Amino acid sequence: MNASMNSPENMDLLFSIHGVTDLKKLEACQLPTLAKQMREYLITTLAPIGGHLGAGLGVVELSIALHYIYNSPDDKIIWDVGHQAYPHKMLTGRLEAMPTMRQYGGLNGFTKRKESEHDAFGAGHASTSISAAYGFAVGRDLQKQNHHSIAIIGDGSLGGGMAFEALNHAGANNNNLLVILNDNEMSIAPNVGAMSSYLARLITGKPYTQAKDLAKNILNKLPGAFDVAKRVEEHVKGMITPGTLFEEIGFRYIGPVDGHNFDHLLATLENCKDLQGPVLLHVLTKKGLGFSPAEEDPETWHGLGPYCLESGSPIKNPSAPDSYTNVFANTLADLAEVDDKIVAITAAMPGGTGLSRFAKRFPDRCIDVGIAEQHALTFAGGLACAGMKPIVAIYSTFLQRAYDQIIHDICIQNLHVIMCLDRAGIVGADGATHTGMFDIAFLRCLPNMTIMCPKDEIELSHMLKTALDIQGPVAIRYPRGSGLGLPAETYASLPLGQAEVLETGSEGLIVSVGTRFEDAKLAQQTLKDADKLELGLINLRFVKPLDVETIVSQLVVGKPLVVVEEGVSQGGIGEKIAMKAYQSGWSGEFVHIAMPDAFPEHGTQEEILRDLRMDAAGIVAQVRGVLKS
């Protein structure tokens, strides 16, 4: 451990920074001290609340250098994903609010335009920064404005197809744009030192660029001479820099630069301000720098809950039931033991989706495609055509990025691809960008699709077995967090499309979708005990195919029909259930407990569910409100 508790009194330099104006007043020799204090404050502040620690620690010097050289908010600084923007927030007037990070009513864990004028573009998903920054650049030029547009993108995000689409577009034009490749795995250039940093400063310097432009003008007048000279230059640069790819698509490549060395960063960024056209600056950083546990295990410390400063270990509740993620992973591994056609696919989230443990047991059958959700789904389609049984483990919010592939490559061909949607519904601290609120609405309209929602861990295991035994595309959605402590010992297929009637009632019906079941059940019992209201209770299990017959059989004419689902109300399954109920001749009050037509704020899952009146108390209140009206 190399961090200790610090009070603001021990961080006088850091707490003198109330915004970028204060930062610019510092001497360059003071910046290493500022970086040290920022790291220590970030480590101690996040310990009791958690957050994206490793990514932020890796870009402290880069964040300082950017705000020291450029003039935000006039200059547009755009962070890809946004999880590494904690230092950026500290420098732009939000330092004292850092203890509220990802807390209810506090700072957002990503960049958010409503939060600060320095957050030029909202983020949460990867590979978007270059497109957005180039949009700013073109908009600037069309309006004849004068400011800089800068995208900071990690080497992982650069693997996303959208990033390459943006590079291809920007490189074909001459708008001024700076793309900073934050390479924290040394995946492109493992060598960094005095010579490479010297070359970076040399290549960005005015003498070099002026000489190059002069030579270009002269050679353009000599037939064939420029092409020859260009090939020679590329050959020589390719020997000393890894930027040939970027040069080929139209970017001037600079680097690699040590991202923790202010002498190198400041001089190079200052030179980049004067360069014309699209520029890619390659910066090498170390994720988690300054906190040894995060340096040694960057995947675990990418984003996590509270942790112990003294031991360097995440704080876990030993009595908490296993998470739905772990139940899925364990079930999948057990099923793969007896079925060698099962292949698990992740899009750069092996830890988050639980597939890290699957990979240890079946390394040849666990495939990480990187941040490339579109490729993941079509790749799964190809595997299905080849006779395998692909399981795509993906967060619900990230499945949105592959919607065309689900329709065109999987559903039209009726391929047996199984999509296991983690973090479906309210996710809590990560907020709107990560909330899995749309999957039911955008999947249930697709032909050939089967959609299942378990009420608990046992059903999740059974549904995974069911998905393997049926044909065609299948989606299983389950929430973030712990289950009920009910792991299945055996796995059995469920009757396709059959709902489960838990109780009958003479005064109405509650239809529960997925893990909202426990709150729906508690609400039903409360209404029974306190209001003497006998409501039936159905666990829907299958969103598609929908068990209309069972639902209609439990309806009571003139009495309320309540549908509880953790997804958007518009396009949700509640609309379909209500339509079928009215078509059957039922009449009565329809109560749809679902997410409104708005994006949720961040906070704990319990806080958001309470605000949306989707917890047990909210369900009771909404039913009572209908009965009184």
- pLDDT per position as a tens digit, 166-197: 999 999 999 999 999 999 863 333 334 453 45
Listing from the earlier edge strand, what are the strands of the sheet with 389-395?
366-368, 342-346, 389-395, 418-422, 474-477, 450-452, 542-544
pLDDT at 438 over 90: yes
Of the candidates 381, 345, 348, 386, the residue with the CA atom closest to the CA atom of residue 366? 345
Average pLDDT of the residues of the chain: 90
Q: Which two tokens stand for residue 9?
A: 């009194």
The Cα 427–Cα 293 span in angstroms is 26
The Cα 538–Cα 513 span in angstroms is 9
Residue pair 323/483 in contact by the 8 Å Cβ criterion: yes
Listing from the earlier edge strand, what are the strands of the sheet with 536-539?
500-503, 536-539, 509-512, 561-568, 590-595
Examine residue 256 and say whether the peptide bond preceding it is cis (omega within 30 degrees of 0). Answer: yes
Amino acid of residue 592:
H
Fold of 500-628: Rossmann fold (3.40.50)
Backbone φ, ψ for residue 10 (5° rounding): -85, 0
Q: Which of 192-206, 251-265, 519-533, 606-620 is predicted least confidently?
A: 192-206
The Cα 499–Cα 491 span in angstroms is 18
pLDDT category at 23 given cuts 50, 70, 90 is very high
pLDDT category at 499 given cuts 50, 70, 90 is very high
DSSP code per residue over 347-366: SS-TTTTTHHHHHHH-GGGE
Res 230: pLDDT = 57
Res 242: pLDDT = 64
Delimit the CATH 3.40.50.920 region(s) of the chain.
Answer: 500-628
pLDDT category at 201 given cuts 50, 70, 90 is low
The Cα 466–Cα 461 span in angstroms is 9
pLDDT at 7 over 90: no
Q: Which two tokens stand for residue 157?
A: 């995000």
Active site residues: 287, 373, 401
**Inter-CA distances, 298 with 44, 294, 316, Å:** 18, 5, 18
Res 301: pLDDT = 80
Residues in the chain, overall count: 629
Fold of 54-287: Rossmann fold (3.40.50)
Res 187: pLDDT = 37
The Cα 162–Cα 81 span in angstroms is 13
The predicted-structure confidence for 414-426, as pLDDT tens digits, reads as follows 999 999 999 999 9
pLDDT at 237 over 90: no
pLDDT category at 557 given cuts 50, 70, 90 is very high
Sign of CA dihedral 17, 20, 21, 23: positive
Enter the pTM of the model.
0.87
Backbone φ, ψ for residue 156 (5° rounding): -70, -45
Residue ranges of the alpha helices (H) in 143-291?
161-171, 194-204, 206-220, 225-240, 244-248, 262-272
Q: Parallel, antiparallel, or unpaired: how do β-strands 149-154 and 76-79 relate?
A: parallel
Provide the 3-class DSSP secondary structure of residue 141: helix
pLDDT at 217 over 80: no
The Cα 12–Cα 16 span in angstroms is 6
Residue written as token pair 């039936």: 536
pLDDT at 574 over 60: yes
Superfamily name with CATH number, domain 324-477 = Thiamin diphosphate (ThDP)-binding fold, Pyr/PP domains (3.40.50.970)
Q: Which two tokens stand for residue 588?
A: 């009565």
The Cα 435–Cα 599 span in angstroms is 8
DSSP annotation of 421? E
Residue written as token pair 């395998």: 388
Mean pLDDT: which of 5-14, 152-161, 294-303 is highest? 152-161
Mean pLDDT: which of 8-17, 192-201, 346-355 is highest? 346-355
pLDDT at 503 over 80: yes
To the nearest whole percent, how much of the chain has pLDDT over 90?
A: 79
pLDDT category at 592 given cuts 50, 70, 90 is very high
Provide the 3-class DSSP secondary structure of residue 566: strand
> Pseudo-torsion of CA 87, 93, 98, 102, nearest 10°?
-90
Find the mean pLDDT for residues 294-298: 85
Backbone φ, ψ for residue 28 (5° rounding): -60, -30
pLDDT at 521 over 70: yes
Residue pair 611/595 in contact by the 8 Å Cβ criterion: no
Find the mean pLDDT for residues 191-211: 53
Bridge partners of 389?
342
pLDDT at 475 over 70: yes
Q: Parallel, antiparallel, or unpaired: how do β-strands 542-544 and 509-512 relate?
A: unpaired
pLDDT at 2 over 60: no
User: What angle do the packed helices 324-338 and 457-469 form, to 10 degrees?
Assistant: 40
Delimit the CATH 3.40.50.970 region(s) of the chain.
Answer: 54-287, 324-477
Res 104: pLDDT = 94
Q: Which residue has the higher pLDDT, 7 or 423?
A: 423
Report which secondary-structure segment, H or E, holds 79.
strand 76-79
> Pseudo-torsion of CA 204, 206, 208, 213, nearest 10°?
110
The Cα 386–Cα 372 span in angstroms is 21
Q: Which two tokens stand for residue 6?
A: 């610090």
CA angle 567, 570, 574 (to 5 degrees): 70
The Cα 243–Cα 251 span in angstroms is 9
Res 188: pLDDT = 32
